[in-house]
C-alpha cells in the first residue's frame, strides 16, 4: 500500500466506523493508561506543595490537554511507521492504516500536528514539563518505534522509559520533579512496563514472530523471559516503602499487590500452560497499575492513610 493511495475518509463511510478507526489510531486504551499517571503526578504535586486545585485549574487543563496530545501524536506516528507489521499481526489488522480507511499521509500529518500542539500547550505550563514530554515522545517514536523495536530485545526497556515519564510531566507542571514521590512513580511505571510487555509478547508470540519483531520470548525463548519477568517484579518490592508519606494503608496495599504479582510470576515456572499463565499475568498487571495510581490519588484524602 502506497502512502497516498487512499483518501482520508469517503463520504459513504459509516460515522461509527470512522469513530472506531480513530479509536484504533489513537490506541484509546493505551492513551488512557498513559494519561492516568499524568493526572496522578499533578494531583500529588498539589498535595505535597500545599496548592489548591481551584488556584491551578488552568495549569491542570493545559497539562492534561498538552500531555494527551503529545502521547496521541506519538501513538499515531507509531501506527504510521508500523503499518507493514500491523498488516501481519492479528491484533492490529483493524487499524485504519492497515484497512486503508485513513491514508498514511493523513496519519503522518495528524501525528506531527498532535505532537507539536501538545508540546506548545505544555510550554505554557513549565519548560520542565514540556521537556519530559519531549523526551518521552522522542524515545517512543525514534529510539523505540524506528530504531530498536525490530532489531533488539532491549526495545522493551527503551519503550518503558518513554511510558514512565508521564507522572513527571504532571508533577513538573507545578513544581520541579526533583522529589522522591515523582521519582518513585517513574520507577514503578518503568519497572512495571517490562514484565507487562513480556507477557504480552508471550500471549502474542506467533504474531510477533511472523512480523519479525525482536521480542524477548521470540528471540531467546520462554524460559529466560519468565526469569526476567520475575526479576523485574521483585524490583518493585521495596518501592512502596519510599512512599511512606502516602500513608501506611498505601504501603500495605501496594506491598500486597507486589507480593501477589511475584507469586503469580513464580508460578509460571511450574506450569505447562504458558498461555494461560501469560493471560493471568496480563490481567493482573493491568489491574495492578490502575489500583496503584488510584490509591496514590485517594491517599491524599485525610481519612485514607
113, part of any domain: yes
131, part of any domain: yes
9, part of any domain: no
- Average per-residue pLDDT for the chain: 92
303, part of any domain: no
Q: Count of domains in the chain?
A: 1
pLDDT tens per residue across span 51-96: 988 899 999 999 999 999 999 999 999 999 999 999 999 888 889 9
CATH code for the domain of 102: 1.10.600
Domain range for residue 212?
A: 18-298
3-state secondary structure the chain: CCCCCCCCCCCCCCHHHHHHHHHHHHCHHHHHHHHHHHHHHHHHHHHHCCCCCCCCHHHHHHHHHHHHHHHHHHHHHHHHHCHHHHHHCHHHCCCHHHHCCCCHHHHHHHHHHHHHHHHHHHHCCCHHHHHHHHHHHHHHHHHHHHHHCCCCCCHHHHHHHHHHCHHHHHHHCCCCCCCHHHHHHHHHHHHHHHHHHHHHHHHCHHHHHHHCCCCHHHHHCHHHHHHHHHHHHHCCCCHHHHHHHHCHHHHHHHHHHHHHHHHHHHHHHHCCCHHHHHHHHHHHHHHHHHHHHHHHHHCCCCCCC
pLDDT tens per residue across span 253-281: 999 999 999 999 999 999 999 999 999 99
pLDDT band with cut points at 50, 70 and 90 for residue 22: confident
Confirm whether pTM is higher than 0.85: yes
148, part of any domain: yes
Amino acid at each position: 500500500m502506497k502512502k497516498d493511495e487512499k483518501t482520508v475518509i469517503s463520504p459513504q463511510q459509516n460515522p461509527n466506523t470512522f469513530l472506531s478507526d480513530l479509536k484504533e489510531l489513537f490506541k484509546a486504551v493505551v492513551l488512557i493508561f498513559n494519561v492516568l499517571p499524568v493526572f496522578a503526578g499533578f494531583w500529588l504535586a498539589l498535595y505535597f506543595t500545599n496548592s489548591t486545585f481551584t488556584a491551578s485549574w488552568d495549569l491542570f487543563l493545559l497539562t492534561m490537554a498538552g500531555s494527551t496530545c503529545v502521547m496521541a501524536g506519538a501513538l499515531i506516528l507509531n501506527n504510521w511507521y508500523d503499518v507493514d507489521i500491523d498488516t501481519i499481526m492479528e491484533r492490529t489488522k483493524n487499524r485504519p492504516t492497515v484497512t486503508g480507511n485513513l491514508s498514511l499521509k493523513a496519519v503522518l500529518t495528524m501525528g506531527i500536528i498532535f505532537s507539536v500542539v501538545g508540546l506548545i500547550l505544555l510550554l505554557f505550563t513549565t519548560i520542565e514539563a514540556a521537556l519530559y514530554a519531549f523526551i518521552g515522545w522522542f524515545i517512543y517514536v525514534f529510539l523505540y518505534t524506528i530504531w530498536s523495536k525490530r532489531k533488539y530485545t532491549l526495545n522493551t526497556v527503551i519503550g518503558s522509559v518513554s511510558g514512565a515519564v508521564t507522572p513527571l510531566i504532571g508533577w513538573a507542571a507545578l513544581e520541579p520533579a526533583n522529589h522522591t514521590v515523582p521519582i518513585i512513580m517513574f520507577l514503578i511505571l518503568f519497572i512495571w512496563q517490562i514484565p507487562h510487555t513480556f507477557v504480552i509478547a508471550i500471549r502474542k508470540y506467533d504474531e510477533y514472530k511472523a512480523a519479525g519483531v525482536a521480542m524477548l520470548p521470540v528471540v531467546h525463548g520462554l524460559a529466560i523471559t519468565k526469569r526476567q519477568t520475575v526479576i523485574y517484579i521483585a524490583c518493585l518490592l521495596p518501592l512502596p516503602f519510599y512512599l511512606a508519606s502516602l500513608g501506611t494503608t498505601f504501603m500495605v496495599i501496594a506491598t500486597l499487590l507486589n507480593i501477589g504479582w511475584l507469586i503469580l510470576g513464580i508460578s509460571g515456572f511450574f506450569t505447562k500452560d504458558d498461555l494461560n499463565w501469560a493471560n493471568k499475568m496480563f490481567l493482573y498487571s493491568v489491574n495492578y497499575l490502575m489500583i496503584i495510581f488510584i490509591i496514590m490519588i485517594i491517599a491524599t484524602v485525610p481519612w485514607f492513610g
